[in-house]
């Protein structure tokens, strides 16, 4: 059984789910090979907390974990969902676990700006602190340079006009699926073989994001800085 | 009930503090992190007038009094085997708001003969008489110095127990606590006597009920002596047999229950509680222990290596809506200082670990 914080880990990145973990793991790998500055990517553990309601529980568990005392940087990624004050929600959850006793976790005042405590804590709200949505929205933003992205947007606009009900919170997830199918990701060699599961994370095996140079999109600049702060000295 | 406990210079502990103790406490940790040693310390602390307690803990570890070099035997109780630094223990709790403290130190140059002492241990055939000398030190501490008497010979222990309690009598802190080591089979006579006590008190049906959680075929218990020795017999599936012939888990659980119901100690220490108990009944074992601890006002401490046992405890106290009574403590060694430390999981912490289905190591 794995330790929650393995020996040698000094940086933690808390993300909501599996797709987020794969996205940021690949993003970190890209930064590690392309950055001019020294990054401590080998000292990073990415841990899922399973959605906003579970963040308190994961923080509580982390505080009790062996090796939490060695954590120097703690990053938290949260979807803004329908809440343009997602930062406050994160602050409230940190405050709750702080009330339960030491160790005390710094509470960031602003998104994207690390605290100066030990550990340094920073929060990244996706797609942004000012906009509702989730990681998939941020990725769709970054894909706008690709002609297929336009087709996808047009397709979904068309669906909306013909009053086909797309659950609003799932729209960007659905768009990613359609986009990936347009890139021949997830299509089996057999005619009927479209994989049951086709999400953001499934694109990595096919190198589609790398081919599109997704990581260097200006739309991901804030996320890139956030990771740099987490991984640099 | 102890709420916190601190121990210094005892076995592997240079200085360990454990807080937020509950009614039922489960202690885990990797090998050599002091799980058993912590319970030994608390056990000794709960019986400050019984110098034999520390020797019992040595014996339970299979450490016998050597023929010679007796001081080495004694030194094994001290951190780093350095007996020049006294063992210090302190506890707080609702019954003793000021906290209580116990110091155990080596009595230096008292003129005792180590060989006499070793001979005594080898010859002992019955419990010794314990004499005590009470005096006050210049620091106005109450000091108890123990001497063991055997066949008209008085042998001073090479130790004294000093208690700087502010109360008039140290005796109020002497308890009938019990320690159940990892591999220990209690004598038939003890089991039979305790069962008889329960029968007189009309509590034997409760024992039968709890034991049947482990052995559902069990329908009756009775004391018989077909071979001259009183033993507890069990009726299972229509046939009778000595309880002892049933499995390790059933006998061990019976020992736990009888100790709680018949001895009713204020503190009960159980080493490696999972031993012999199948995972499918562990939850019921905890429910029985939790219920007795609650009703009889017993504070329970147990050690484990088993994640199944930790989960079972969580499930048992959750199901009974008594999770606030349960505490889980993990002992680990700090990589920074190399010293042992305790991390305590309360109700909220256990719910957090359970929410992620115990997916990461907590032992």
- Asked if the peptide bond before residue A119 counts as cis, ω within 30 degrees of 0, the response is yes
Q: What are phi and psi of B239, to 5 degrees?
A: -125, 150
| pLDDT for A212 | 81
Q: How many CB atoms lie within 10 A of CB B121?
A: 19
Domain containing B227 equals 184-249
d(CA A5, CA A11): 9
CB–CB of B294/B326 below 8 Å?
no
Tokens representing residue A146 in the block? 């690709």
Residues of chain A positioned with their CB less than 8 A from the CB of B343: 64, 66
Section A204-217 average pLDDT: 79
Residue B193 counted as domain residue: yes
pLDDT band at A112 (very low <50, low <70, confident <90, very high): confident
In the listed set B249, B274, B294, which residue is the last one of a domain according to the structure? B249
Residue of B308, B331, B356 to mutate, testing the A interface (most A Cβ within 10 Å of its Cβ):
B356
| pLDDT for A7 | 93
Burial of B52 (0-12, 13-18, 19+ CB in 10 A): middle
With CB atoms and an 8 Å threshold, state whether B360 touches A1: yes
- Asked if the peptide bond before residue A127 counts as cis, ω within 30 degrees of 0, the response is yes
Whether B148 and B62 map to the same domain: the answer is yes
CB–CB of A94/A141 below 8 Å?
no
Whether B166 and B192 map to the same domain: the answer is no
- Asked if the peptide bond before residue A103 counts as cis, ω within 30 degrees of 0, the response is yes
Residues of chain B positioned with their CB less than 8 A from the CB of A65: 360
Residues of chain B positioned with their CB less than 8 A from the CB of A1: 307, 360-361
Q: Is A145 on the interface with B (CB under 8 A)?
A: no
Whether B188 and B109 map to the same domain: the answer is no
Section A27-56 average pLDDT: 93
**Which residues in B2-94 belong to E strands, given as ranges?**
4-10, 13-18, 24-29, 87-93
CB–CB of B38/B302 below 8 Å?
no
Tokens representing residue A53 in the block? 């309601």
Question: DSSP assignment of B287-331, as one string?
Answer: HHHHHHHHHHT-EEEEE---HHHHHHHHHHHHHTT-GGGEEEEEE
Residue B213 counted as domain residue: yes
Whether B80 and B112 map to the same domain: the answer is yes
- Mind listing the domains of chain A with CATH numbers? 11-133+219-231 (3.40.50), 135-214 (no CATH)
In the listed set B233, B249, B265, which residue is the last one of a domain according to the structure? B249
d(CA A183, CA A148): 8
CB–CB of B296/B258 below 8 Å?
no
d(CA B332, CA B309): 19
A98 or A195, which is more confident? A98
d(CA A145, CA A143): 5
User: ipTM score of the complex?
Assistant: 0.83
Distance from chain centroid for Cα B81: 22
Whether B162 and B217 map to the same domain: the answer is no
| pLDDT for B138 | 46
Q: Is A78 on the interface with B (CB under 8 A)?
A: no
Residue B94 counted as domain residue: yes
Q: State which residue of chain A sits closest to B361, comparing Cα positions.
A: A3
Whether B117 and B153 map to the same domain: the answer is yes
Residues of chain B positioned with their CB less than 8 A from the CB of A64: 330, 343, 345, 349, 353, 362
Whether B81 and B155 map to the same domain: the answer is yes
Interface of A with B in 29-58 (CB under 8 A): 50, 54, 56-58
The b-or-e profile of B227-259 (16+ CB within 10 A means b, else e) is eeebbbbbebeeeeebbbebeebbbbbbbbbbb
Terminal alpha carbon distance of chain B: 25
Q: State which residue of chain B sits closest to A8, comparing Cα positions.
A: B335
With CB atoms and an 8 Å threshold, state whether B335 touches A7: yes
Which residue from A90, A93, A97, A132 is spatially nearest to A113, judged by alpha carbons? A90
Q: Is A100 on the interface with B (CB under 8 A)?
A: yes
Domain count, chain B: 2
d(CA B310, CA B303): 10
What does DSSP assign to residue B294? Answer: H
Whether B164 and B198 map to the same domain: the answer is no
Nearest by CB to residue A61, choosing from B332, B335, B352, is B352
Residue B358 counted as domain residue: no
With CB atoms and an 8 Å threshold, state whether A61 touches B343: no
Q: Write out chain B's pLDDT in tens, 363 residues.
A: 999 999 999 999 999 999 999 999 999 999 999 999 999 999 998 887 776 788 788 888 888 766 666 667 778 889 999 887 888 888 988 877 666 777 777 655 445 555 555 554 455 444 445 555 554 444 444 455 555 444 444 444 544 444 444 444 555 667 889 999 998 888 999 999 999 999 999 999 999 999 999 999 999 999 999 888 899 999 998 899 999 999 999 999 999 999 999 999 999 999 999 999 999 999 999 999 999 999 999 999 999 999 999 999 999 999 999 999 999 999 999 988 999 999 999 999 999 999 998 988 888
Tens of pLDDT, residue by residue over A148-194, are 999 999 999 999 898 888 777 788 988 988 888 888 776 655 544 44
Which residue from B178, B179, B177, B174 is spatially nearest to B49, judged by alpha carbons? B174
With CB atoms and an 8 Å threshold, state whether A57 touches B356: yes
With CB atoms and an 8 Å threshold, state whether B360 touches A3: yes
Whether B199 and B128 map to the same domain: the answer is no
Q: Is A103 on the interface with B (CB under 8 A)?
A: no
What does DSSP assign to residue A146? Answer: S
What does DSSP assign to residue B262? Answer: I
| pLDDT for B296 | 97
In the listed set B121, B142, B174, which residue is the last one of a domain according to the structure? B174
With CB atoms and an 8 Å threshold, state whether A3 touches B336: no
Q: Is A182 on the interface with B (CB under 8 A)?
A: no
Whether B93 and B123 map to the same domain: the answer is yes
With CB atoms and an 8 Å threshold, state whether A60 touches B336: no
Phi-psi region of B247 (alpha: psi -120 to 50; beta: other; left: phi over 0): beta
Nearest by CB to residue B348, choosing from A65, A66, A100, is A100
Tokens 């009920």, located at residue: B209
d(CA A135, CA A126): 5
Q: State which residue of chain B sits closest to A50, comparing Cα positions.
A: B356
Tokens 């602190």, located at residue: A129
Residues of chain B positioned with their CB less than 8 A from the CB of A60: 348-349, 352
Residues 6+ apart with CB under 8 A from B354: B311, B314, B318
Whether B69 and B132 map to the same domain: the answer is yes
Residues of chain A positioned with their CB less than 8 A from the CB of B362: 64
The partner residues of B307 in beta bridges, in order of sequence, read: none
Whether B205 and B107 map to the same domain: the answer is no
Terminal alpha carbon distance of chain A: 30
With CB atoms and an 8 Å threshold, state whether B360 touches A60: no
Q: Kindly report the nearest CA distance between residue A37 and chain B, in angstroms.
A: 28
Nearest by CB to residue A2, choosing from B349, B352, B360, is B360
Residue B357 counted as domain residue: no
pLDDT band at A54 (very low <50, low <70, confident <90, very high): very high
- CA dihedral angle for residue B218, residue B223, residue B224, residue B229, rounded to 10 degrees: 120
Tokens representing residue A230 in the block? 């987490």
Residue B264 counted as domain residue: no
If you compute the radius of gyration of chain A from its CA atoms, what whole number of angstroms results? 19
Coil, helix or strand for A162?
A: coil
pTM, full prediction: 0.87
Residue of B355, B357, B359 to mutate, testing the A interface (most A Cβ within 10 Å of its Cβ):
B355
B269 or A196, which is more confident? B269
């Amino acid at each position: 059984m794995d330790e929650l914080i393995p020996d040698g880990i000094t940086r933690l990145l808390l993300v909501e789910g599996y797709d987020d973990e794969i996205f940021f793991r690949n993003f970190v790998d890209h930064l590690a090979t392309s950055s001019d500055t020294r990054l401590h990517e080998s000292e990073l553990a990415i841990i899922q907390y399973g959605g906003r309601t579970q963040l308190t529980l994961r923080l509580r568990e982390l505080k009790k974990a062996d090796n939490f005392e060695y954590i120097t940087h703690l990053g938290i990624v949260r979807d803004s969902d329908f809440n343009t004050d997602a930062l406050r929600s994160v602050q409230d959850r940190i405050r709750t676990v702080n009330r339960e006793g030491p160790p005390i976790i710094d509470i960031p005042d602003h998104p994207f700006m690390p605290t100066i405590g030990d550990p340094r804590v920073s929060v990244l709200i996706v797609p942004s602190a000012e906009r509702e949505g989730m990681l998939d929205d941020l990725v769709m933003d970054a894909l706008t340079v690709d002609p297929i992205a336009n087709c996808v947007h047009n397709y979904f606009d068309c669906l909306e006009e013909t009053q086909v009900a797309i659950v609003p919170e799932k729209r960007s997830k659905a768009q990613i699926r359609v986009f990936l199918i347009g890139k021949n990701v997830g299509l089996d060699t057999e005619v009927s073989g479209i994989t049951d599961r086709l999400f953001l994370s499934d694109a990595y095996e096919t190198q589609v994001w790398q081919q599109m140079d997704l990581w260097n999109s200006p739309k991901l600049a804030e996320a890139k800085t956030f990771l740099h702060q987490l991984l640099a000295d | 009930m102890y709420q916190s406990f601190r121990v210094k210079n005892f076995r592997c502990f240079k200085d360990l503090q454990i807080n937020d103790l509950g009614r039922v406490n489960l202690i885990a940790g990797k090998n050599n992190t002091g799980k058993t040693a912590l319970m030994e310390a608390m056990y000794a602390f709960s019986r400050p007038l019984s110098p034999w307690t520390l020797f019992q803990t040595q014996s339970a570890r299979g450490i016998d009094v050597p023929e010679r070099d007796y001081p080495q035997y004694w030194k094994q109780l001290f951190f780093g085997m350095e007996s020049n630094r006294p063992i210090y223990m302190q506890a707080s709790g609702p019954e003793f708001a000021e906290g209580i403290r116990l110091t155990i130190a080596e009595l230096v140059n008292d003129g005792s003969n180590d060989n006499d002492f070793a001979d005594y241990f080898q010859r002992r055939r019955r419990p010794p008489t314990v004499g005590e000398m009470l005096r006050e030190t210049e620091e106005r501490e109450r000091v108890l110095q123990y001497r063991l008497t055997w066949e008209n010979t008085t042998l001073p222990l090479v130790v004294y127990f000093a208690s700087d309690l502010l109360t008039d009598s140290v005796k109020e802190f002497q308890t009938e606590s019990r320690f159940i080591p990892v591999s220990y089979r209690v004598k038939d006579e003890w089991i039979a006597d305790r069962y008889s006590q329960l029968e007189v008190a009309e509590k034997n049906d409760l024992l039968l009920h709890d034991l049947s959680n482990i052995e559902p075929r069990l329908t009756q218990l009775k004391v018989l002596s077909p071979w001259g020795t009183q033993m507890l017999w069990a009726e299972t599936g229509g046939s009778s047999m000595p309880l002892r012939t049933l499995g390790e888990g059933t006998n061990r659980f019976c020992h736990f229950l009888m100790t709680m119901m018949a001895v009713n100690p204020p503190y009960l220490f159980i080493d490696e509680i999972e031993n012999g108990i199948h995972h499918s009944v562990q939850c019921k074992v905890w429910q029985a222990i939790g219920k007795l601890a609650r009703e009889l006002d017993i504070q329970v401490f147990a050690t484990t290596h088993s994640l199944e046992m930790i989960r079972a405890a969580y499930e048992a106290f959750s199901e009974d809506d008594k999770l606030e009574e349960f505490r889980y403590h993990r002992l680990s060694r700090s990589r920074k200082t190399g010293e042992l430390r305790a991390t305590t999981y309360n109700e909220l912490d256990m719910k957090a670990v359970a929410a992620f289905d115990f997916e990461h190591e907590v032992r």
